[in-house]
Structure 1
Amino acid sequence: MNTNTNKNLSALIRGGQKPNGTVKVSGAKNAGTRLLAAATISDEIVQLNNFPTELVDVQYKVDFINKSGGKVVLDNSLDTVRIDPSGYVDSLLDNYEYPIRTTYLLVAGLIKRSGKARIPYPGGCKIGNRGYDLHIMVWKSLGAKVEEKEDYIEVTAPSGFKGGIVNFPISTIGGTENALISASISDNETIIKNAYISPEVESLIAFLKSMGVKIETVGNSYIKVEGAKYLRGSIFNVIPDRIEAITWIIYGIISGGNITVKDVPFEIMDIPLIHLEDAGINIYRNDKNVVVGPDCLVNGEIQPFELACGTHPGIISDMQPFYTLLGLHADGVSRIYDYRYPERLKYCEELNKFYNDAIEWQTGKIKTVGKSKISSATAKSTDLRGSMAVVLAALMADGDSKIENVEMALRGYNNLEKKLEGLGINIEITENFPEKM
């Protein structure tokens, strides 16, 4: 596994560095990791291109698949992954400590070949209550038995999944992905109601279709799946990461530097970019790239704004920390609301350390007072995207800062250190060793 996956890391950051250069947006974490899991239901070899090979979550998922008999080979130089799932079978592992949320997507491939799946409990970010009860509902709706053991979740379906109706009580991306992958190997037809068809889910649907699954969608919440006995291999491209794209765009705007951001997925970012225009920001773009810097500010200042985070095609909750950062640099008071994950607030306390208490927050609501002095600080990482916002604040601060648990940011951004180096930015990553007794 990647040497960073099991370590408690800190970043020592010299403030006042201005980015100048080009950064290429990697394949989307929230698409690539799902496609990797979905590839395990294939009967032939799968290759995924534009794949974020360096992500920590990827390393964990590859580790689990390989220990369960699959063969996954990552090529960091070509950004590709090759998956041979023919030997992927249920096995009792020595360790089920995998700190990733999407372990539930690993079930279908094991059920297909073994009729049984023992998978780690979902781990990952603490951004509010996001249980796995909906995934248990998916498996039971498709005829499986589910038991919660001490170290793992055990899903049993000796004859495989059966077609059925999955009716989600709330819309859920993870649940929709699980239902899609599981239904693709089930007998007969499966109907998924109240689904959440995000761009990443659309990508997953296209991938499953490329392997031979018949899928029909109506609107963005109804899916009909006809499972297939034999699934052919596929060569498939991972979509660029819209969350990474907005990260670099906003960093270019607020840092005083100049950044060319390549491979921006404009077609799935219309509304987030409209909100930048409404804040008095005019970015320079062609079909795939943008150039951002001080010249983008129409009248020399970022205008204060109000916006709400929710579901696609709007500003998704994962983008929230970067609009909070934008508000901290605006010429006045801005307000950000989050109806999707109103508890995504832990990073605000850490970010406030840099901005001298210029942030106020309560459930579902954040208020920023712009143009505050940015001071150096020692802060902790929280969730993936909030951690990156804290890193960016440290880079712009007056003085040197330390970010603890920075491995959270490394989980969300493929090859982060190298990309920052390409912008002329240096951060020092150190491992924290436990104190001796």
Structure 2
Amino acid sequence: MTTLLQDSSRAGASVGLKGDRITIRGGRPLRGRIEVKGAKNLVTKAMVAALLGETPSVLRDVPDISDVRVVRGLLEVHGVKVTPGDEEGTLLLDPSAVESAHMADIDAHAGSSRIPILFCGPLLHRLGEAFIPDLGGCRIGDRPIDYHLEVLRQFGAVVEKLPSGIRMTAPNGLSGTKVELPYPSVGATEQVLLTAVRAAGITELRGAAIEPEIMDLINILQKMGAIISVDTDRVIRIEGVDRLEGYTHRALFDRNETASWAAAALATDGDIFVGGARQAEMLTFLNVFRKVGGKFEIHDDGIRFYHPGTPLRPVVIETDVHPGFMTDWQQPLVVALTKAEGVSIVHETVYEQRFGFVDALVDMGATIQIHKECLGGQACRFGQRNFNHSAVISGPSKLHGADIVVPDLRGGFSHLIAALSAEGSSTVSNVGIISRGYEKFITKLEQLGADFVLEG
């Protein structure tokens, strides 16, 4: 039986680090150049898309992060041959020998990623069945898979819930359908795209997410032979085809990592050149960065972010789906806003549990209050539901060193920024989580002149 099994108990395990704790002596500006590769939120989905091709695919600018290693392991236990290319960050993915996998093999590779749900459509097309377990990931909000399962049912999948997980079959194949999302979910949009391209007939998706990573996935699928049109009203139409070929593609740069290093430059009075970053996909972030008082320079090969030496200004931010201000940008920027002179407001409308990371900032001396009300913007879907989803940050605050335990990916990097900007020493534990989405972040801290010791 085709299986995709993961062990959620390994969530947060250290990957790719000699130690899982770092002691940082703060107060030193970060200065220098670092490079960003392909976006975590695109690369892992592009690797799954390779399952749909009848010939090998070539993916460039793949970051060395644990989520990529998880997907690579899942592909390999299903018979996909994954080998490095001649160029650093290049993977060759050959799906010509796709086969069923054993539960024990997948259990050893899957880790805590939520990516297995996106394997279902491609595996149903290739093998006629799939199996998934309970899904892990960062605990920042409610991410039910029920809607994914309902979408797969609409395509014709038969879904059977078992004690060991969820088994799916497609006895009559998959057929196009009409799907309307209640919210522009990135994951649900990816699910529809990866399933619809080989489904018989036409699929119409309304209320789709249109993030740059989604558009880049569409670019990949079109290269493979898919027929996909995108309207301006969040409607995507996919005409299913009988066969897809492999692709050759250079992944879109990681916007979230870029914004994180930009926020680090602000918080530490630093000057960081992010090689590989582009202006077009960072437009909304750059506007807010400028309003806060940060400076930036656009170059052909990247963007320079720096603190100009003048006081930072408070802002009001409301996170939203693209083209709004990304939820993954607000956490690192909140650290920089503790340095602004005045009161800033951040209204989180994408994930309802994304302010847990501020407890550590308060322990370090920040003045941050969390509220259930929708502050600083229009009422959102979390209003009147007792979710703590608005933050009021009063500054400037002098942060001091503390002992911190990383809670999730973006919150964890935000804690690193806080420790780097604080007076005195901080010990940050469970930093292995950060490896899920930030390639070689320890090496990059060294390149930027951070003062730290990585411990076991």
Compute the TM-score of the two structures, normalised by the length of structure 1.
0.92
**Equivalent residue in structure 1 for 2:206, among 171, 183, 193:** 193
Deviates further, 282-291 or 323-332 = 282-291
Matches within 5 A, 1:301-340: 301-340=311-350
Structure 1 residue 146, shift from structure 2 partner:
1.1
Deviation, 1:378, is 0.8
The structure-2 alpha-carbon separation of the partners of 1:113 and 1:8, relative to structure 1 and needing over 3 Å to count, comes to farther
Post-superposition shift, 1:426? 5.0
Please list the CA deviations of residues 164-190 of structure 1 after superposition, one character each: whole Å capped at 9, or x if unmatched.
122222221100001100011111111
Structure 1 unaligned segments of length 5 or more: list them: 432-437
**Correspondence for 2:50:** 39
Give secondary structure in 2 for the equivalent of 1:224. strand
1:310-359 alpha-carbon deviations (Å, 9 max, x no partner) = 111121111110221121010111111111223211111122222x1411
Partner of 1:171: 184
Mapped pair 1:348 → 2:358: yes
Q: Who is 1:78 aligned against?
A: 88
Structure 2 counterpart of 1:30: 41
Structure-1 separation of matches of 2:212 and 2:153: 27
Instruction: Check the 8 A contact 1:91/1:118 in 2, yes or no.
Output: no
Aligned length: 425
Match in the other structure for 1:51: 62
The 2-side partners of 1:40 and 1:309 are apart by: 34
Post-superposition CA distance 1:46-66 (Å, at most 9, x none): 0111111x1111111111111
Aligned-residue RMSD, C-alpha: 2.0
Contact between 2:267 and 2:417, CA under 8 Å: does it hold in 1? no
Which structure 2 residues correspond to residues 58-69 of structure 1 after superposition, within 5 A?
Answer: 58-69=68-79
Check conservation: 2:294, 2:306, Cα contact below 8 A.
no
Question: Could you tell me how far apart the structure 2 residues matched to 1:113 and 1:285 are?
Answer: 44
Structure 2 alignment gaps of length 5 or more: 1-12, 372-387
Q: Within the alignment, does 1:205 sit opposite 2:218 as a pair?
A: yes
C-alpha distance after superposition, 1:391-416 (max 9, x if no partner): 11112222221112111211121121
Show the counterpart of 1:135: 148
Provide the rounded CA distance (Å) in 2 between the counterparts of 1:257 and 1:248. Answer: 10
1:13 correspondence with 2:24: yes
Q: The residue matched to 1:269 in structure 2 has which SS?
A: helix
Q: Within 5 A, what are the aligned runs for 1:29-428?
A: 29-52=40-63, 54-74=64-84, 78-94=88-104, 95-96=106-107, 98-295=111-308, 297=309, 300-354=310-364, 356-362=365-371, 363-428=388-453
**Structure 2: how far apart are the matches of 1:248 and 1:6?**
20
SS for the counterpart of 1:403 is strand
Tell me whether 411-420 or 14-23 shows the greater mean CA deviation.
Answer: 14-23
* Structure-2 change in CA distance of 1:373 and 1:197 (3 Å): same
CA distance in 2, matches of 1:75, 1:64: 19
- Superposed displacement of residue 148, structure 1: 2.6
CA distance in structure 2 between the aligned counterparts of 1:89 and 1:119, rounded to whole angstroms = 16
Partner of 1:435: none
For the residue of structure 1 that corresponds to 2:352, the secondary structure is coil
CA distance in 1, matches of 2:190, 2:341: 41
What is the CA–CA distance in structure 2 between the aligned matches of 1:276 and 1:391, rounded to whole Å?
A: 19
Q: Write the distance in 1 (CA, Å) between the matches of 2:29 and 2:200.
A: 56
Deviation (angstroms), 1:309: 0.7
Separation in 1, partners of 2:29, 2:17 = 31
In structure 2, what residue type is equivalent to 1:55?
I
1:163/1:293 Cα in 2 relative to 1: closer, same or farther (>3 Å)?
closer
Aligned-pair CA distance for 1:282:
2.9
Query: Corresponding residue for 1:434?
Result: none
Distance 2:66 2:103 in 1: 20
CA apart distance, 1:26:
1.8
- One-letter identity of the residue aligned with 1:209: Q
Q: Which amino acid aligns with 1:210?
A: K
Q: Aligned partner of 1:402: which letter? A: T
Q: Secondary structure at the match of 1:346?
A: coil
Alpha-carbon distance between aligned partners in 1 of 2:144 and 2:455, rounded to the nearest angstrom: 33
Given that 1:410 and 1:416 are in contact with CA atoms closer than 8 Å, whether structure 2 keeps it comes out as yes
Contact 1:8–1:405 (8 Å) recurs in 2:
no
Aligned equivalents of 1:6, 1:88: Cα separation in 2: 32
Question: Which secondary structure state, in structure 2, belongs to the residue aligned with residue 369 of structure 1?
Answer: strand
Aligned AA for 1:425?
A
Residue 139 of structure 2 aligns to a residue whose secondary structure is: coil
Distance 1:138 1:89, change over 3 A: farther
**Equivalent residue letter for 1:335:** I
Greater mean alpha carbon deviation, residues 199-208 or residues 264-273: 264-273
Instruction: Name the SS of the counterpart of 1:147 in structure 2.
Output: strand
- Aligned-pair identity in percent equals 29
Q: Is the 8 A contact 2:209 2:322 kept in 1?
A: no
Separation (CA, whole Å) in 2 of partners of 1:176 and 1:382: 27
Contact between 2:267 and 2:418, CA under 8 Å: does it hold in 1? no
Amino acid at match of 1:13: I
Cα separation, 2, equivalents of 1:57 and 1:148 = 26
1:413 partner letter: Y
* Distance (Å, rounded) in 1 between the aligned partners of 2:400 and 2:136: 33
- 8 A Cα contact 1:103 1:121, kept in partner: no
For residues 367-399 of structure 1, give each alpha carbon's deviation from its aligned partner in whole angstroms, at most 9, with x where no partner exists: 112221111111111221111000111122222
C-alpha separation between the residues in 1 aligned to 2:46 and 2:145?
20
